[in-house]
Structure 1
Amino acid sequence: MPRGRILLFAAACIGVALALAMVTIIVVGGRSSESNAVVSTGQPDVGGPFQLVNQDGQAVDQSLLEGRWNLVFFGFTYCPDYCPTTLTALKATLDRLGPRGEDIQVVLVSVDPARDTPQALKDYLSNEAFPAGTVGLTGTEAQVAEAARAYRALYEKVGEDEYYTMNHTLTVYLMGPDGRFRQALSHDLGPERMAEVIQRAMSRG
């Protein structure tokens, strides 16, 4: 199966996992603005405790998310396409939100802890095309796996040599100031539509 299709399959699996957990989350990834909708009801069992390290080498936990809105997604610095594209789109989304965008923190959790050291994350996130202040998180393989389970995120290593890559869930998770899940955002919504969805969620509190 081509790598792109595997990645999209992984993204679809998040919806299946949440549905099995009795969560009502609908992510429609059509091309038109009308079909690029995200609907969330109930209180999904997404998110929870984690122990990781940020790009400054400091140990952090889930309290990192408290007190402000967060956009959390799983990726890695060697990602050739989806991760940089997602970060660029998130920057454009925050720009569209204006002052409200300043209240949102972007968090990238690495699914490639073997290569994504704190310094590697720090260098990667210094890109001016990415949201300023983005937090990069890494840790041991066990710590990353625990965080991914909490968010129902899927990932797998592809290849065994030094040029291996990682397939991973493409979903962006909108978390509220209380650290709890609010919305699952399709990676391909686009900045304008994503800003609209986030603004509605923020208005609901």
Structure 2
Amino acid sequence: MRKLPYILSLLVLILLAGCDKPESDLPVNTRLGGEFSLTDQDGKPFSQDNLKGQVSILFFGYTHCPDICPAVLARVAQVYRNLDEAGLADRVQPVFITFDPERDTAEHLKEYLPWFKAEMVGLTGSLAEIRQVAEQYGVVFIKGDEEENYLFTHSDYIYLLDDQARVRKLYPADFNIDEVAADAESLL
């Protein structure tokens, strides 16, 4: 009879283990990401620790981009709105990191990002800080030669991060909105 409580305890543990949400099929990318420290659109410090506890959709770009960056931000915002309609947006954070800190100040990001209606966090910092973060994510950006109204040549991947701020998937700029939303949901 002494074995009965042990067997019941073991059975309860097995049943509880089966109640957990299944792990996502998206692999963890151990080569991208890492610790960083930047400044958000409110002028407050922001690090990778601020990304933990939620799924993040991360994009690097600049606000004076004439074409790709605003189009990608609009697509990221649509993913967020789709997740909001499903009641999941409170656990998802779109994040925009500029590589143009000269023009994309915290104040400018605070004015620019609300146009996308997606509760997006905008990050800036010194050029050295931004270069470090960009390198950690494999982002390439090259400033044009113009004195004013300069443009950047840049990579344009979107990063899906899990609730531990680990990169789980990359998408091209013309990503499928439903795919990203489904992948984000799989990490919740």
Which TM bucket (shorter chain)? Answer: 0.7 to 0.9
List per-residue Cα deviations over 1:137-175 (Å, max 9, x = no partner): 011110000110111111110123101111222111111
**Structure 1: any 5+ residue segments left out of the alignment?**
1-38
Question: Offset at 1:40?
Answer: 5.7
Aligned residue type for 1:64: N
Aligned equivalents of 1:86, 1:131: Cα separation in 2 = 14
Residue equivalent to 2:113:
125
Residue equivalent to 1:165:
151
Residue equivalent to 1:108:
96
Aligned equivalents of 2:29, 2:150: Cα separation in 1 = 37
Residue equivalent to 2:51:
65
* 2:37/2:129 contact within 8 Å kept: yes
Give the TM-score, by structure 2 length. 0.79
Aligned equivalents of 1:107, 1:41: Cα separation in 2 = 21
Instruction: Say whether residues 1:50 and 2:36 are aligned partners.
Output: yes
Aligned length: 162
Give the TM-score, by structure 1 length. 0.73
Aligned equivalents of 1:61, 1:195: Cα separation in 2 = 24
Residue equivalent to 1:91:
77
Percentage of matched positions with identical amino acids: 33
Question: Offset at 1:185?
Answer: 1.6
Question: Offset at 1:44?
Answer: 2.9
Aligned residue type for 2:37: Q
* 1:72/1:174 contact within 8 Å kept: yes
Could you say what secondary structure the match of 1:126 adopts?
helix
Which piece of structure 1 moves more, 39-48 or 109-118?
Answer: 39-48
Residue equivalent to 1:142:
128
